[in-house]
Structure 1
Amino acid sequence: MTLSILAVIAGFVLLVLAGDRFVTGAAALARNLGVPPLLIGLTIVAFGTSAPEMAVSATAAWVGNPGLAIGNAIGSNIANIGLVLGITALVQPLHVHSNTLRREFPVLFAITLLTLALLLDGELGRFDGAVLIAGLGLVIYWMVSIGRASRISDPMTAEYAEEVPRGMPTATALLWLALGLVLLPLSSRLLVWGAVNIASGFGVSDHVVGLTVVAIGTSLPELAASVAGALKREHDIALGNILGSNMWNLLAVLGLPGLIRPTLLEPAVMTRDFPVMLIFTVALFAMAYGFRDGSRLTRFEGGLLLGGFAGYMATLVLTAA
């Protein structure tokens, strides 16, 4: 058990490092090639923040643990809203000005409903995975269109211009990109091995481990990025990272195990976990979209999100016990 815990810790550390180096290298390379900062943020950065979840999900499905992959996808979305945005709003209330984000809210909600419709039969099959991956392609095309059309007018343009690495030699960018691509599958394999052993040792399902330990661990990069963005008054990036990550989690992180290893869902997925994810998504939509006096997420609302997440985690622990 000690070796498994150390493997999980080492896997998380390497995943964070791999994701960070991948994003840094890919973003710097894209900037050197003349790609606009907003387009880099909406595509490369969005992909990079979900790269750890994608690597873990694909690895878990490949080695025969699709339950862990499904738990990771749904649990990461819950953690991103409840834990990451909850803590971020407590540290610094978020005021959203980007029209791009106001368009992403309904898209995330539509993707959530599409995923719900695909999973209502209690199975994540290859058809479901293909539909989700095709949806990812459409979303990427849509984000590329937005990034090319909103180079100046959107507030996120200036924020991403500050965040995207500049002045990095192309050779260095390629080196970091390659390092990230190598470390992602290796660290995810180490993490999955340790997580599966921990699940067996405590007598809980892979799905529960994916919802808790793995989901929280793979959401740590989003937490660091969102808090850092909020403290630098880059509120649109702080929230945009979460919206983009949650879209990728449903379309890619959940789509990959469907293509790699179709499986029946545990009953709790549709009776407990997916409804909780839907509630958090609707709550975020109602709190931050701007139906009241502007688009903002207050400390009180952040506390509600964090409290809801803590309650959900407590329910999982008590149920597993």
Structure 2
Amino acid sequence: VGLTVVAFGTSAPEFAVSMKASLAGQADIALGNAVGSNIFNVLLILGISALIAPLSISRQLVRLDVPVMIVVSMLLWVLSADGNLSRIEGLLFVAGIVFYTALLIFLGRRSADNVEQQTDLPKQSGPERRYNRLTILLLILGGLGALVLGARLLVTGSVSLARLLGVGELVIGLTIIAAGTSLPEVATSVVASVRGQRDIAVGNVVGSNIFNILCVLGAAAAASKTGIAVTTSALKFDIPVMTAAAVVCLPVFFTGSRISRGEGVIFLVYYAAYIIYLIWTAKTPVEMENFRQILWWYVIPLTAIVLIISVILSFRNGRGKTTIT
């Protein structure tokens, strides 16, 4: 559930905003929205959700979905290396989300068939449908209309804000727009964590990140004749940070099949550092070069060492073999 209906549904604002920005020729907002949302989802949403309660990780997440998230993040990095995500590359991404969705449906049906064969559950009659088809259709159309209008207002307002503050549209896309369009993911994951549905809390984030790259950026690039231009700063810092956030999920998820509160705190600290970097470099990029060096040569390697030690300890304790569900 978390990786299909919930995840893709909560990414609808990102899709609407990036499509509107792409069609309006505002590539920095289209790119910043998707990349910033992915960073926000992993570091902030999972961090907050883990603080509420340690998050459990399903077997499919570790074996399939997180590796897919890592691969598509790296693929975006590679394809953007020439400074542009072309229309052809966008169509490739769209084809990827179609294939991935079909794979999830196939695996879900096979899993459901296995459960039915192993259990003999009585059919539940259930209550009658509350809404008829016309009502559902009107609700969908109304929601889509509000989404399109909201996307237009958000993009227009963000451009004005960027000019007022004297910062680039990419920074606004990576911060304000990304946080705004990720609010459905925040609500879904936090509520799921509070209710004890921790697999949905994590699955929603992973699924949304995959959707943001393959569908949101893919469709935005395909809709533009010239594709989406990728700035040097995004290529050298923001996309690598997004990729690193995706990569770090695999060992964190694998060690004990859960995200502990301590790991949640680490995620939140990293997101705070990232936002501080963006704000400061928006005005004084030269003075913050030392911050960039500290991040790449000290913080990230130290994190990698801690994660490697965690993996080794989990193997010694046998957690990695016994607690993945």
The bucket for the TM-score relative to the shorter chain is 0.7 to 0.9
Letter matched to residue 134 of structure 1: A
Match of 1:319 in 2: 281
User: How far is the alpha carbon of 1:152 from its aligned partner?
Assistant: 6.9
Cross-structure match for 1:50 = 11
- Kindly indicate whether residue 179 of structure 2 is the aligned counterpart of residue 216 of structure 1: yes
Residue 100 to residue 265, structure 1, CA distance change in 2 (3 Å): closer
Partner of 1:18: none
Residue number in structure 2 paired with 1:196: 159
- Tell me, in whole angstroms, the C-alpha distance in 1 between the residues paired with 2:230 and 2:58: 39
Distance (Å, rounded) in 1 between the aligned partners of 2:239 and 2:206: 17
Please show how residues 168-317 of structure 1 align to structure 2 within 5 Å: 168-171=130-133, 172-261=135-224, 262-288=227-253, 290=254, 292=255, 294-317=256-279
Displacement of 1:236: 0.7
TM-aligned CA deviation for residue 277 of structure 1:
0.6
| 1:204-227: CA deviation from partner (whole Å, max 9, x where unpaired) | 111110000000111111111101
The 8 Å contact of residues 42 and 147 in structure 1, kept in 2 or not, is answered as no
Normalising by structure 2, what TM-score?
0.79
Q: Post-superposition shift, 1:101? A: 5.7
1-structure distance, mates of 2:75, 2:24: 27
- Equivalent runs, 1:20-169 vs 2, <5 Å: 38=1, 42-99=3-60, 102-151=63-112, 167-169=129-131
Change (3 A) 1:318 1:100: closer
The answer to whether the 8 A contact 1:69-1:254 is kept is yes
Task: Give 1:230 shift.
Answer: 0.8
RMSD: 1.9
Deviations 1:50-103 (A, max 9, x none): 100000000011112111000001000000001111111111110223535642
2-side partners of 1:153 and 1:283: how far apart? 32
Aligned partners of 1:166 and 1:147: how far apart in 2?
26
Q: Is the 8 A contact 2:94 2:215 kept in 1?
A: yes
Task: Please give the per-residue CA displacement for 1:159-189, whole angstroms capped at 9, x wherever unaligned.
Answer: xxxxxx9943233322321211111111100
Q: CA deviation at 1:264?
A: 2.7
Q: 2:14 touches 2:181 (CA, 8 Å); kept in 1?
A: yes
- CA separation in 1, counterparts of 2:181 and 2:143? 15
Structure 1 contact 49–221 (Cα < 8 Å) conserved = yes
Pair 1:147–1:166, CA change in 2 (3 A): farther
TM-score if structure 1 supplies the norm length? 0.79
**Structure 1 alignment gaps of length 5 or more:** 1-37, 155-164
CA 1:198 to 1:167, structure 2 compared with 1: closer, same or farther past 3 Å?
A: same
**For 1:116-143, what per-residue CA distance to the aligned partner results, in whole angstroms no more than 9, with x for missing partners?**
2211112111122111111111111111
Residues 88, 259 of structure 1: alpha-carbon distance in 2 compared, 3 angstrom cutoff: same
In 2, distance between residues paired with 1:119 and 1:63?
20
Higher Cα Rg, which structure: 2
Q: Distance in 2 between matches of 1:49 and 1:194?
A: 22
Tell me: CA distance 1:90–1:282, structure 2 relative to 1, closer, same or farther (3 Å). Answer: same
Asked if the contact 2:3/2:208 (under 8 Å) is kept, the reply is no
Distance 1:309 1:128 in 2: 29
Q: Which runs of 5+ in 2 are unaligned?
A: 116-126, 284-325
| Partner SS, residue 233 of structure 1 | coil
State the 1:109 CA deviation: 1.3
Judge which range, 251-260 or 51-60, deviates more. Answer: 251-260
The question of whether the paired residues in 1 share the 8 Å contact of 2:33 and 2:173 is answered with yes
Letter in 2 for 1:270: L
Q: Distance in 2 between matches of 1:231 and 1:98?
A: 22
Task: Give structure 1 regions of 4+ aligned residues with deviation exceeding 6 angstroms.
Answer: none
- Identity percentage of aligned residues: 41
3-state SS, counterpart of residue 76 of structure 2: helix
